[in-house]
Chains A and B, each alone.
Chain A
Amino acid sequence: MANSGHGLQIYDDLDVETSSIFNYDYSTSSESNDVAPCDLQTTIIFDRSFLPAFYSILFLLGILGNVLVMVVLLQNRKRLQSTDIFLLHLALADILLVVTLPFWATQAVSGWLFGNVLCKTVASIFKINFYACTFLLVCISCDRYLAIVYAVQVYKKHRTNLVHWSCLFVWCLCVGLSVPDMVHFQVAYEPRTNVTECQPVFGSSNFKTWRVSMAFLYHIVGFLLPLCFMLYCYTHIIHTLFQTHGFKKQRALRVIITVVVAFFLCWTPYNIVALLDTLNLLHVLADNCTIDSNIDIALSVTSGLCYFHSCLNPLLYAFVGAKFKKKLVELLSKLSCICPQIVKNYIKHSPSAKSSTWSESGETSISRM
Chain B
Amino acid sequence: MAVGKALALFCGLLLILSCVCGMSPLGKQRCMCKGRGAERISTQHLKKLEVFPMSFGCDEIEVIVTMKSGSKICLNPQSKFANKLLSALRKKRSSK
Contact = CB atoms under 8 A, between A and B. Distances in A.
A275 interface: yes
B34 interface: yes
Contacts of A11: 48-50, 89, 93
A126 B26 CA distance: 10
B28 interface: yes
Contact of A219 (B20, B57, B93): B20
Contact of B18 (A18, A19, A212): A212
A3 B90 CA distance: 11
B59 A208 contact: yes
A190 B57 contact: yes
Contacts of B28: 40, 43-44, 47, 193, 296, 299
A76 interface: no
A198 B68 CA distance: 35
B26 A215 contact: no
A212 B19 contact: yes
A296 B28 CA distance: 7
B30 interface: yes
B48 A192 contact: no
Contacts of A8: 50-53
B57 A278 contact: no
A202 B22 contact: no
Contacts of A282: 19
Contacts of B53: 6-8, 191
Nearest to A279: B19
A27 B42 contact: yes
**What band does the interface of chain A fall in when counting residues whose beta carbon is under 8 Å from B?**
35 or more
B23 A191 contact: no
B58 interface: yes
B43 A218 contact: no
A30 interface: yes
Nearest to B89: A11
A288 B34 CA distance: 7
A104 B28 CA distance: 12
Interface in A1-51: 1, 3, 6-15, 17-19, 21-22, 25-31, 34-38, 40, 43-44, 47
Given A1-B93, A199-B56, A199-B57, 14 more contacts: A1-B96, A8-B50, A14-B49, A30-B38, A37-B73, A104-B26, A191-B52, A192-B62, A198-B26, A199-B27, A211-B23, A212-B19, A214-B21, A292-B30
Interface of A: 1, 3, 6-15, 17-19, 21-22, 25-31, 34-38, 40, 43-44, 47, 104, 107, 123, 126, 188-193, 197-202, 204, 207-208, 211-212, 214-220, 224, 270, 274-275, 277-279, 281-282, 287-289, 292, 296, 299, 303, 306
Chain A to chain B: the 6 pairs with minimum beta-carbon distance, closest first: A303-B25, A7-B53, A29-B42, A277-B22, A14-B46, A207-B59
